[in-house]
Amino acid sequence: MRSTASGIARPAAAGKTMVVKIGSSTLVRDGAVDRPFIERLADQAVRLREMGWSLVVVSSGAIAAGAPRLGFDRRPADMPSLQACASVGQCVLSAVYDEVFAARGLLTSLVLVTRHDTAERSSYLHARDTLSRLVELSVVPVVNENDTVVVDEIRFGDNDTLAALVSCLVSADLCVILSDIDGLYTANPALDPTARLIPLVEKIDGAIIGSAGDSSTAVGTGGMITKVRASRILMTAGIPSVIASGAEADPLVRLAAGEHVGTRFEPPADRLDIAPRKLWIALGDAARGRLVVDDGAACALEAQGSSLLPVGVVGVEGAFGRGDILDICDGTGLVIARGIAEADSDALALAAGRHQDEIARNRLLAALAGRPAVHRDNMIVFA
């Protein structure tokens, strides 16, 4: 460890990177920012740096912190009020992060993003370069969705997804999602006394997704299901992730030291060489529609890495154009892949279930002859 003239502590060499996402219910209590929690977080950041880890914080809580300052006794429902709360609350949060971390010799920065900033491949790469450079400069970036200007069409929807995106952007070695629950259970522990903590997940299937309940907190927008979906994307990217309680003592330091905390999602060994372009397909933009495939097509995608042919499509949902991002689902509704459409929704609806020779003979569909619905090079199959 060395110190610069500014007094900011910098590691002697680059090491590992950890992304931590902190939920609103963990950061804001009784309408006020939980300063002691941020102080404990900063203490862990110092210890992580001593252990050779850089930290990136994905912070919720802007709306929850701003609402009481504007006189709201609960989260408002209308968009202008929500955005006003976010504007005020982001200043409140940033001031606390800056003051607390600076007192420990750590420099923070504020990074606000929306889907608009990552939907285009070039913008996605610029965001990657900026975050990576901040980490190289020993800054602790504090990332949040730009709720002040965001609208539904360009929302990430929850900061769990944003944490997965940031983890991929900085090639994180671990992503930790801190919440008000200590991991994934077999059922909702608030409703089922027999529910058991699941310590390790190596594959996310329908049963795992089914065990994830919705949020029970009034200040957040995510629930366990969004955390599991984010962890599934991270597993696909080859990045381990952990869901743990923010009330745990020093969870980040303990995880960095190899201790078990919460529920760990371990990616398969073959998920270590996913092309950056495919990660952008998985995370950069929201899906504009979905294709439902039959069992044979689902098996071919998952086991063989095949392109998706129109004959394997049994349903087309949403209005989308060629080049849009699509979710690909099996018959149970589980999203098994995401990719770029090779044709618009009307054409694919007409071509669904048809073999290539039948498509070639159809004057309306002739342009699709010999082309898949989604090409394997433009598709990422989830772990």
**Each residue's pLDDT tens digit, 238-274:** 899 999 999 999 999 999 999 999 999 999 876 555 6
Whole-angstrom CA distances from 340 to 187, 233, 306, 350 are 35, 17, 14, 18
Tell me if the pTM is above 0.85: no
Strand pairing partners for 37?
none
* pLDDT band, residue 157 (cuts 50/70/90): low
Which ranges of 220-283 does DSSP label H, i.e. alpha helix? 224-236, 251-256, 276-283
d(CA 160, CA 325): 20
* pLDDT band, residue 29 (cuts 50/70/90): confident
Please report the pLDDT score of residue 149 as a whole number. Answer: 63
Please report the pLDDT score of residue 271 as a whole number. Answer: 55
Residue 172 CA to its chain's centroid (Å)? 12
If one compares 283 and 217, the residue with the highest pLDDT of the two is 283
pLDDT (average), residues 166-170: 91
Look at 10-24, 88-102, 164-178 and tell me which has the smallest mean pLDDT. Answer: 10-24
Is 218's pLDDT higher than 50? no
Please report the pLDDT score of residue 148 as a whole number. Answer: 63
Q: Quote the mean pLDDT of the chain.
A: 86
pLDDT (average), residues 345-353: 94
If one compares 283 and 195, the residue with the highest pLDDT of the two is 195
